[in-house]
Structure 1
Amino acid sequence: MNLTLWIAAGLLAVVALASGISKAFVPKAKLAEAPGGEWTAHASAGFVKPLGILEILAAVGLILPAVLDIAPVLVPVTAVCWILLMVGAMITHFRSSEFKFVAVNVAYLALAAFVALGRFGAESFTA
């Protein structure tokens, strides 16, 4: 189970890092042209760029605290924050009629819930 939780957290971290880098460093106009990025056309750069930075921090928070054994409780806390982020993403994509991306966000939410429940529960780093 521990290995499965590590894999799930690693997959989420890769997704968060890739998504965060694109939002933080790709111009907003180019993001708006990309599949799934249409919503950025209606959002300000002052919203999209910090969102990207939060996603990069989520990637770090899903892995580094456990690897360094410094406040490993931050891993499930970050997973819960990712769940909240995915709820917002699902609402945004639903409003834009991007139902394929809503389904992708549901999958990411489920993966984050698995990590949160596993790391707060039986496979806690403090157990």
Structure 2
Amino acid sequence: MNIALWVVQGLLAAVYLAAGLMKLVRSREQMVASGNFDWAKDMTDGAVKGIGAVEVLGALGLLLPELTGIAPVLTPIAAVGLVVVQIFAARAHIRIGDRKSVPINMILLLMAAFVAVGRFLD
């Protein structure tokens, strides 16, 4: 079970780190212009940067506490935070009519929930 948790944590961390850094580095206008981030049209620049920061912190929280042994309870807490992020992301996609992204949100939500439950019980 520990190996499965580490694999899922690594995958989630890679996804959230990449997505979060992109939101922090690119402007909201660049993201909207790419055509893949229609949800960002309704957001402020600060909101998009804030989401990016939460994603980066969540990615770090999935790995660092467990790897270092310093406050490992933060790993499942980070996973719970990412479950909440995906709930709001799915809601945003549904609101703008982008239902094709919702299955991805649900997969990421289930992966984060797996890590949360697995690490809380660990």
TM-aligned CA deviation for residue 50 of structure 1:
1.3
> Which residue of structure 2 aligns with residue 50 of structure 1?
50
User: TM-score normalized by structure 2?
Assistant: 0.96
CA distance in 2, matches of 1:18, 1:62: 14
TM-aligned CA deviation for residue 96 of structure 1:
1.2
CA distance in 2, matches of 1:112, 1:78: 9
> Which residue of structure 1 aligns with residue 80 of structure 2?
80
Q: Give the letter for the 1:43 counterpart.
A: M
Identity %: 39
> Which residue of structure 1 aligns with residue 67 of structure 2?
67
Count of aligned pairs between the two proteins: 122
Asked if 1:95 is matched to 2:71, the reply is: no
TM-aligned CA deviation for residue 35 of structure 1:
4.3
CA distance in 2, matches of 1:29, 1:68: 38
User: TM-score normalized by structure 1?
Assistant: 0.93
TM-aligned CA deviation for residue 75 of structure 1:
0.6
CA distance in 1, matches of 2:35, 2:69: 38
User: Where in structure 1 are there 5+ consecutive unaligned residues?
Assistant: none
TM-aligned CA deviation for residue 88 of structure 1:
0.2
Asked if 1:108 is matched to 2:117, the reply is: no
CA distance in 2, matches of 1:71, 1:61: 10
Q: CA offsets per residue over residues 21-62 of structure 1, 9 Å max, x none?
A: 111110111111234411111110011111101111111000
Q: CA offsets per residue over residues 96-123 of structure 1, 9 Å max, x none?
A: 11111111000000000100111111xx
Q: CA offsets per residue over residues 59-118 of structure 1, 9 Å max, x none?
A: 100000011110011110000000001000000001111111111000000000100111
Further displaced range: 30-39 or 46-55 = 30-39
> Which residue of structure 1 aligns with residue 23 of structure 2?
23
User: Where in structure 2 are there 5+ consecutive unaligned residues?
Assistant: none
Structural RMSD (CA): 0.9
Is the CA contact 1:36–1:98 (under 8 Å) kept in the aligned structure 2? Answer: no
Q: By percentage of residues, which structure has more helix?
A: 2
